[in-house]
Amino acid sequence: VGAQGPDLSFIPSDYHVDGKPDLAKFSASYQELVARDAQRAEADAAAQIEALAQAAADALAEGAAPQAEQMFAALAAEVPDRVEFAAGLARARVALGDLDGARAALAALPADARHATLAQARAALALAEQATPVADLAGLAAKVAANPDDHALRIELAGGLMARGDRDGAAE
């Protein structure tokens, strides 16, 4: 700062009045620019989060549970208030056979949390916890086919398929 005041030569001539910099005009414009840049950055971050969420869901659907688990863990850490990310993490851990990890992911959520994916994660965990090996899966599948309304048989078959690692078959 010299004897004449600060150097304001950086202020574009568009913000000059009577040949002198208009600080109020420049400041208001600068604040608008900063706000627009912040909004754009926030929108870009939200788009990146949604893209990663879609990639994690796709990985889980394609059976790439280790990759899905990593992506959902990152998402749940970055955006802890998004229930679906913790639910996806739990589902990925169930697919990996890490039932304790799945329970921990679900336990970290508020008791009143609600989301469709949360119900799916809880159901997957419950099914995995009930999974027991079945000696004759083909015979049990035939019994279910003969009596599709016998839900106890269907649950037993799903548990046997889950114990064998056939998550998709168990879901059907």
Mean per-residue pLDDT, 6-29? 81
Residues recorded for the chain:
172
Mean per-residue pLDDT, 3-23? 79
Mean per-residue pLDDT, 98-124? 92
Using only C-alpha atoms, what is the Rg of the chain?
A: 28
**DSSP secondary structure letters along 131-149:** ----TTHHHHHHHHHH-TT
Structure confidence at residue 171 (pLDDT): 67
Structure confidence at residue 167 (pLDDT): 66
- Residue 20 scores a pLDDT above 70: yes
Mean per-residue pLDDT, 156-171? 74
% of the chain exceeding 70 in pLDDT: 95
- Band (pLDDT 50/70/90 cuts) for residue 11 is confident
- Band (pLDDT 50/70/90 cuts) for residue 162 is confident
What are the CA-CA distances from residue 103 to residues 91, 115, 137 (Å)?
Answer: 10, 16, 28
- Plot region of 19 (φ>0 → left; ψ -120 to 50 → alpha; else → beta): left
- Residue 98 scores a pLDDT above 60: yes
Question: Could you read off the pLDDT of 65-94 as tens digits, one per residue?
Answer: 999 999 999 999 999 999 999 999 999 999
Structure confidence at residue 24 (pLDDT): 84
- Residue 172 scores a pLDDT above 80: no
Mean per-residue pLDDT, 116-141? 85
pTM for this one? 0.63
